[in-house]
A and B are shown apart, each in its own frame.
Chain A
Amino acid sequence: MADLNVKLWRGDENGGELVDYTIEAQEGEVVLDVVHRIQASQAPDLAVRWNCKAGKCGSCSAEINGKPSLMCMTRTSVFEPGETITITPMKTFPIIRDLVTDVSFNFKMLKKVPALKPKAREADGTYRMFQEDIERGQEFRKCIECFLCQNVCHVIRDHEENKTNYAGPRLFIRYADLEMHPLDTNDRLSLLQDKMGLGMCNITKCCTEVCPEHIHITDNAIIPLKERVVGDRYDPLVWLGKKIFRKSKTKVTVTE
């Protein structure tokens, strides 16, 4: 088979460059296979994070020809013969070395999510939930934490200063999962709007486009959260209804 021309980002926090590699193409390969063969034959010191090679661990996230993708789920057959494949690390996160980035930002933001606080158990000491009440959240739990959605989100990709007060799409689906939970008693809407930057998302849907699990992040998580915030603080009809019918919040507002 013909040769593959690959450009790989090589470097660390002190700088780096795109380095050319040429390697024989093999049938049925994915980009991660090619990177491994380059590592085995030409660049033994190449740093690359990977684990399952099955699109389920979310470790091998990178940018392939500028598109945030999993290397293990991108077939080399999708490229034109003779086309150069450029592989770079995720742009939004600090570089560690070569294709490996420091994604700790996401875990720090995850720690800030107020946990599930279930209501009291029923008289027989159990919790009861119905399928229709929990199935929305099941979609969100398909997340493999590849952080491609966080990487592509322009709010922090192009404006790093927003990282201090922006949770990002991966965390928004976590918030949505908890907010829609039938047993939960925490109210995270003020936290989301005031400190987690829900209002900064301008719903351009790039997170949904790159999600390898095809989670409808924008339509099923972010927009429903935005609508809940609207009902909570921007909708005078809802406010009036609460006043007239003396409805009070059943949830406890968590601000931090």
Chain B
Amino acid sequence: MTTTNTNSDNNSITAVEIGKPRGGPNVKTLRKDKWWLQPLFTSIGLGLFVIYGIWAAFRNGNYFAGAMGRNYLSPFYSPCVTHGCQYTTVPIVGSWYNISPAIIILIFPMGFRMSCYYYRKAYYRSFWFSPPACAVSEPHKKYSGESKFPLILNNIHRYFWYAAVVFGVVLTIDAVNAFRFPNNQIGMGLGTVVLVINAVLIWLYTLSCHSCRHLTGGKLNLFSKAPIRLWFWKKVSKINPHHQLFAWLSLIWIAFTDFYVYMVASNMIHDPRFF
């Protein structure tokens, strides 16, 4: 039963006073180190990915290397769900849809990354300067953080996480399919390695997510009564501190994977086969 309780002892607390003079010079910051480097590199890195992502999403071609004897599907176009796909994973969308199939798919990974706790830190610092770095004043006059629309929408991160798990499975299937060669042969090319690394990095990024950590066991107060969930929570807690690293590695590698598939599919390079 939900009940509401008020703590009357707290009613006598003196109200917080604001507006009293503060010490120190009235400057933006007294930091002497290169505090601006981190937000600069972050904005350049994310900016480059956005530019590449737009080009890759609207390219609408050379995302499957089947014509070159390779079963490589670009992660930007996987799962390919339209009838017009070069390689259709699940034909959910009819032939009426004639723009790039990547547009439908990318909403989910984009939403997952946009609401990710690490990327939030990255873009709040680098693009919104809120704050640009620690102990460096931000330029905004008012601040409500994630308590109001639209930033309160970041609370739906866990739904994108559910979708990210599905994408992890799909990209793993793509990596397995990359071992399939014409005439029912099993083999391995350089592209197979690229796709396997891509799937591994996506899983590391997905499983190190803070929402995953909460759902596996973080929400519990009595771990002693849920030993299996405690085991999972401990494993996720081991990789969670590296979430930022996995965020960047998976971001860079997914773009590289797409570009590699593009180069093979468009016959710009020959994909070496190891066996």
Binds B, one of A22-30, A35-43, A51-59, A104-112: A104-112
Binds A, one of B76-84, B138-146, B187-195: B138-146
Contact A11 B138 (CB under 8 A): no
Considering only residues 193-232 of chain B, those with a C-beta below 8 Å from chain A are 210-211, 213-214, 218-219, 221-224, 230
Contact A88 B25 (CB under 8 A): yes
Task: Tally chain B residues at the interface, Cβ within 8 Å.
Answer: 65
Considering only residues 60-115 of chain A, those with a C-beta below 8 Å from chain B are 63, 65-68, 83, 86, 88-95, 98-99, 101-102, 105, 108-109, 111-112, 114
Q: Which of B3, B120, B152 has the most CB of A within 10 A?
A: B3
Contact A63 B135 (CB under 8 A): yes
Among the listed B15, B23, B32, B121, which residue makes an inter-chain contact with A65, where contact means beta carbons less than 8 Å apart?
A: B32
A235 on interface, CB distance cutoff 8 Å: yes
Contact A206 B134 (CB under 8 A): yes
A118 on interface, CB distance cutoff 8 Å: no
Contact A204 B210 (CB under 8 A): no
B240 on interface, CB distance cutoff 8 Å: yes
B98 on interface, CB distance cutoff 8 Å: no
Give the chain B neighbours of A89 by CB distance below 8 A: 22-24
Give the chain B neighbours of A228 by CB distance below 8 A: 214, 219
B259 on interface, CB distance cutoff 8 Å: no
Contact B2 A203 (CB under 8 A): no
Give the chain A neighbours of B54 by CB distance below 8 A: none
A240 on interface, CB distance cutoff 8 Å: no
Task: Tally chain A residues at the interface, Cβ within 8 Å.
Answer: 84
Contact A256 B7 (CB under 8 A): yes
Knowing A95-B21, A253-B5, the reply to whether A209 touches B221 (Cβ < 8 A) is: no
B267 on interface, CB distance cutoff 8 Å: no
Knowing A154-B130, A253-B3, A255-B6, the reply to whether A133 touches B143 (Cβ < 8 A) is: no
- DSSP majority for the B interface? loop
Nearest neighbor of B21 in chain A, beta-carbon distance = A13
A181 on interface, CB distance cutoff 8 Å: yes
Nearest neighbor of A115 in chain B, beta-carbon distance = B7
Contact B10 A256 (CB under 8 A): yes
CA distance A199 to B152 in the complex (A): 8
A223 on interface, CB distance cutoff 8 Å: yes
Give the chain A neighbours of B120 by CB distance below 8 A: 202-203
A120 on interface, CB distance cutoff 8 Å: no
Minimum Cβ distance to chain A for residue B197 (Å): 26
Give the chain B neighbours of A171 by CB distance below 8 A: none
Given A205-B121, A224-B218, 18 other A-B residues pairs in contact with their CB atoms under 8 A: A11-B23, A14-B21, A90-B23, A92-B22, A94-B21, A98-B23, A109-B16, A112-B13, A130-B223, A154-B138, A159-B142, A162-B143, A186-B5, A201-B145, A202-B146, A203-B121, A219-B240, A256-B11
Question: B-contacting residues of A (Cβ < 8 Å)?
Answer: 9, 11, 13-18, 63, 65-68, 83, 86, 88-95, 98-99, 101-102, 105, 108-109, 111-112, 114, 130, 132-133, 152, 154-155, 157-164, 179-182, 184, 186, 193, 197, 199-206, 209-210, 216, 219, 223-224, 226-231, 234-235, 248-249, 252-256
